[in-house]
Structure 1
Amino acid sequence: MKNIVIIGASGHGSMILDCVEKQGRYNVLGFVDSFKEKGTIQNGYEILGCELDLPRLTAKFDLHGIILAIGNNWTRKNMADRIGDIAPDLRFVTAIHPSALIGKDVKIGSGSVIMPGAIVNANSRIADFCILNTKSSLGHDGRMEEFSSIASGVCTGGNLTLGRFSAVSLGANIIENITVGEHSVIGAGSLVVKDVGGYSVVYGSPARFIRKRGVTDPYLSSDRKFSDLTALPMKI
């Protein structure tokens, strides 16, 4: 099996590790994390360094690819760009847990993650770097644009279009034929019955517009940790 590392040793990284191990396509060498001490152990795997160490790891271990374990959509994009500068030859691999149900004529992009018990119904399209979390479902002919995410327990009707960088939070429900614009967030437990514009925060049952949001506005409990990737050391 080809060697990969997981970028991010958080709880999300542990879930992705489980997906990769059970999928059985890649050999995980360990984690890469800018916020944890090199040499420490996470789920039986070593923290091998930070992303600046990727060229060294590639040469030492014949590293084939990486997978990003970063829940925040915008931060995940910034890290993908950063790694593209540091180690442009590395591939971003996809992880699909074997308990996920993938329908007919589904396409899933590189760097995306499909978690345990997720359902992707027929004719759906999942772009690069998306997350479909535990026991969530994407209805038939659904489309997730790049760097979008659907949290655990979400149920979506057919023909959803989820815009770039947008997030559907825990346990929300979306009826059929809904479009969600880019960089929007749907709050936990919401019921979405009409289209959602871009750069919006909506929640409630039925969901209503609450406010506009910026691309860097936090929406996850872990966001503070990754709030300023520009503070990390850059390749010279």
Structure 2
Amino acid sequence: MKTTVIIGGGGHAKVVIEVMRATGEFDPIACVAADAPDQLLGVPVMGDDSCLTALLGSGIVHAFVAIGNNHRRALLIEKARKLGFQIVTVVSPAAIISPSARLGQGVVIMPGAHIGTEAIVGDGTIINSNSNVDHDCVIEENCHLAPGCTLAGGVTIRSKTFLGTGVSVIPYIQIGARTTVGAGSVVIRDVPDDMTTFGVPAHHQALPNDEPHGNSDSV
């Protein structure tokens, strides 16, 4: 069993703790988060990410970044790697993963999700509950598919993009980097980088320059 530190202290971190326990592969030993309760589901919260060096020095070498915001998650994965942590991937036993699919480091696949034939899920990506990623899809690093998303075959999602709850994407569509797709949208045309898109069918507009490119810490 891998003793693992959880970087994050919101709702998403709580879900990750439960999925880790369900796998039987991980022992979530501590959480690292600012402005969090003293414990999450019985896992003690040690303080902010300045605690990571001490935790590594104590012999904990595995880490998982459980933060919903794509940009923040990417930064913290990089920080943990540079410190020397091994970034783990967490797959719910209630998910279905094709044997030909490829999952990167720091990925979480939630209960009820399906990853299809020869699909690729990049480092640091969240595939949330009951989402379907069909054959030959490519999801780049640090993306987030909220619960109930459906990607038909051959869809490409570029890095740090967020798909809200219940988004549907027809086959072979490409959605650009750092883009947000609103909940319930149906995407039938390619979407460029740095857009927000919403509706049925989805239409898009450029994001303001200060857009954080992702959802909040909690899912």
Give the distance between the partners of 2:165 and 2:48, measured in 1 at CA.
30
Cα displacement (A) at 1:210: 2.9
1:78-227 equivalence runs, <5 A: 78-85=75-82, 87=83, 89-214=84-209, 216-217=211-212, 219-220=214-215, 222=216
- In structure 1, the residue matched to 2:27 is 27
Instruction: Say which SS state the counterpart of residue 5 (structure 1) adopts.
Output: strand
Cα displacement (A) at 1:130: 0.4
Q: 1:201 touches 1:213 (CA, 8 Å); kept in 2?
A: no
Cα displacement (A) at 1:193: 0.5
Sort the Cα spacing of 1:182 and 1:66 in 2 relative to 1 into closer, same or farther, 3 A: same
Give the distance between the partners of 2:64 and 2:145, measured in 1 at CA.
18
Instruction: Say which SS state the counterpart of residue 117 (structure 2) adopts.
Output: coil
Between the two structures, name the one with larger relative contact order (CA 8 Å, sep ≥ 6): 2
Cα displacement (A) at 1:64: 2.0
TM-score w.r.t. the length of structure 1 is 0.87
- In structure 2, the residue matched to 1:42 is 40
Sort the Cα spacing of 1:215 and 1:198 in 2 relative to 1 into closer, same or farther, 3 A: farther
Cα displacement (A) at 1:51: 1.4
Cα displacement (A) at 1:187: 0.6
Unaligned runs of 5+ in 1: 226-236
Q: Which runs of at least 4 in structure 1 moved beyond 6 Å after TM superposition? A: none
Cα displacement (A) at 1:213: 4.2
Q: 1:199 touches 1:214 (CA, 8 Å); kept in 2?
A: no
- Alignment deviations for residues 4-62 of structure 1 (CA, whole Å, 9 cap, x no partner): 1111121100110111111111211121112226xx121111112221111211222x1
Give the distance between the partners of 2:88 and 2:4, measured in 1 at CA.
8
Cα displacement (A) at 1:214: 3.7
Count residues in correspondence. Answer: 218
TM-score w.r.t. the length of structure 2 is 0.94
- In structure 2, the residue matched to 1:74 is 71
Give the distance between the partners of 2:80 and 2:5, measured in 1 at CA.
13
Sort the Cα spacing of 1:214 and 1:164 in 2 relative to 1 into closer, same or farther, 3 A: farther
- Percent identity (aligned): 28
Unaligned runs of 5+ in 2: none
Give the distance between the partners of 1:215 and 1:101, measured in 2 at CA.
37
Q: 2:180 touches 2:213 (CA, 8 Å); kept in 1?
A: no
Q: 1:199 touches 1:215 (CA, 8 Å); kept in 2?
A: no
Cα displacement (A) at 1:77: 1.1
Instruction: Say which SS state the counterpart of residue 30 (structure 2) adopts.
Output: strand
Cα displacement (A) at 1:90: 0.6
Q: 1:33 is matched by which residue type in structure 2?
A: A
Give the distance between the partners of 1:218 and 1:100, measured in 2 at CA.
27
Sort the Cα spacing of 1:125 and 1:183 in 2 relative to 1 into closer, same or farther, 3 A: same
- Alignment deviations for residues 184-214 of structure 1 (CA, whole Å, 9 cap, x no partner): 1111100000111111111000000133344
Give the distance between the partners of 1:135 and 1:83, measured in 2 at CA.
29
